[in-house]
Structure 1
Amino acid sequence: MALALSWLTVLPVRTGAPAPAVAAAALRWAPLVGALLGAVAGAALWGLTALGVPAFVAGLLAVGLLAAATRGMHLDGLADTADGLGCYGPPERALAVMRDGGAGPFAVVALVVAVGAQAGSLAALVPGPTAVAAVALACAAGRAGFAWACRRGVAPARPGGLGAQVADSQPWWVAVAWWVALGAAGSAVLGWRAPVAVALGAGLVVLLSRHTARRFGGVTGDVLGAATEVATTAALVVLSTT
């Protein structure tokens, strides 16, 4: 859990260089870290709207808080993955584009859509404990996608980096178990939207993982960021639907 917090948040948790088994285990704690981050963002959304901040502005600020709390690395992963998928050429060319660090047109569009959809969805939630639960669920479900993207049989696309540390390390059922548990727990508070939101996010992660594994030759840390942002966005859209 300490390693998961160190990797996935700005909290000053010191862990040192992890052994492969510890790195794999840390990935299984990621949904709990997501729930914590989502609860904080949901509480911020509730507080801002209580102070009279317009709903969309409060939603945008909550998305910004999530980005700051994660060092922006998930959004960065989404942007790099979008650029990699948008380029022509062999996997080596796509990986080179992803390593470049610049933001191409695909990255810009992906970020605008993700941030805009998340902010708009947050703005549509009714402020209060239910909204906090919804944001926590969406963030947790998104991070459950890490385990699916790193399931056994998916190799690292390149040596080094987070992807190489955790690729091919997770039994396939870990992600499924998290998604089922989150959908069931969420339904007790949020009704039918919870399992639908989790299922939609999970389905998109499955498709994205399949496509990126073929396009890039495996998984990278950027793909993990893209997976969580896609799943979180989809879940928030469903949860905010009236």
Structure 2
Amino acid sequence: MGGLALALSWLTVLPVRTGAPTPAVAAAALRWAPLVGALVGAVSGLVAAGLVLAGVPALVAGLLAVAMAALATRGMHVDGLADTADGLGCYGPPERSLAVMRDGGAGPFGVVTLIVVLGTQAAAFATLAAGGVAVTAAAGALAGAAGRAGFAWCARRGVPAARPGGLGATVAGTQPWWVAVAWWAVLAAAATWLVPARWPGVLAVAVAALLVAGLSAHTRRRFGGTTGDVLGAASELGVTAVIVVLSAVL
């Protein structure tokens, strides 16, 4: 259970104490990450639906649900999304992109990406909230789990770390390729009873998997490997894909 404890410590604000992780425990933490994501996503869905039931305008409720998720994860994933967008948006060799990503500030590409992605998530949660608490919580859980399953794909064997140090270097190349595929398959199967009409959940997971695979391929070419920021971007991209598809078809 050390991997689960480390995943909770790394990926949430929960006060879970762990020692210095061994490489094996760090690798295990990525395999537990979808369960942690499901927890965060379900709470986000409950927040959105609960606020709508309390009379809060749907879009405001969606924005607050997204803000809650960012707070619950210390903003790690949205920071990774912004840094990855800035790195991909700059010209020059991989070293320049990685330097931009290390800078810490959000550049124009990062700011625009955050506005678009988080705004889209908020609007999707607002739409889903009309379907009730159970539907919104299930959609959030599915989205959170599918997004974090992307960690294993971005850290699969054969994908090196783009730079030494940091989370990316710790977990790069630690996951067999089938771990992410297995998670996405399990989530697609679970979606047949988690969300109404069965097929929308399967479609949502498939879209998320394809987008994360595309992001991983592109960042590997652009940066020379993976980083912790890429993992965060993959998570946010997967989450967004799932809730947008579900909000469009449910």
Relative to the length of structure 2, the TM-score reads 0.96
Mind listing any 5+ residue stretches in structure 1 that lack a counterpart? none
Q: CA offset at residue 200 of structure 1?
A: 0.4
Question: Which of residues 177, 181, 197 in structure 1 aligns to 2:204?
Answer: 197
| Cα deviation 1:99-140 (Å, max 9, x = unaligned) | 011111110111011111000000001222111000110010
TM alignment of 1:193-232, pairs within 5 A = 193-232=200-239
Retained in 2: the 8 A contact 1:45–1:127? no
Say whether 1:11 aligns with 2:18. no
CA distance in 1, matches of 2:139, 2:231: 22
**2:159 alignment partner in structure 1:** 154
Between the two proteins, the alignment pairs up a number of residues equal to 242
**2:43 alignment partner in structure 1:** 40
Query: Quick one: which amino acid aligns to residue 169 of structure 1?
Result: T
CA distance in 2, matches of 1:181, 1:189: 12
Q: CA offset at residue 160 of structure 1?
A: 0.6
* Secondary structure in 1 matching 2:124: helix
RMSD across aligned positions (CA):
0.7
TM alignment of 1:48-67, pairs within 5 A = 48-67=51-70
TM alignment of 1:89-100, pairs within 5 A = 89-100=92-103
Relative to the length of structure 1, the TM-score reads 0.99
**2:29 alignment partner in structure 1:** 26
User: Which contiguous aligned blocks of 4+ residues in structure 1 show a shift greater than 6 angstroms?
Assistant: none
Question: Which of residues 130, 133, 140 in structure 1 aligns to 2:135?
Answer: 130
* Secondary structure in 2 matching 1:239: helix
* Secondary structure in 1 matching 2:248: coil
**1:109 alignment partner in structure 2:** 112
1-10 vs 181-190, which moves further: 181-190
CA distance in 2, matches of 1:60, 1:152: 37
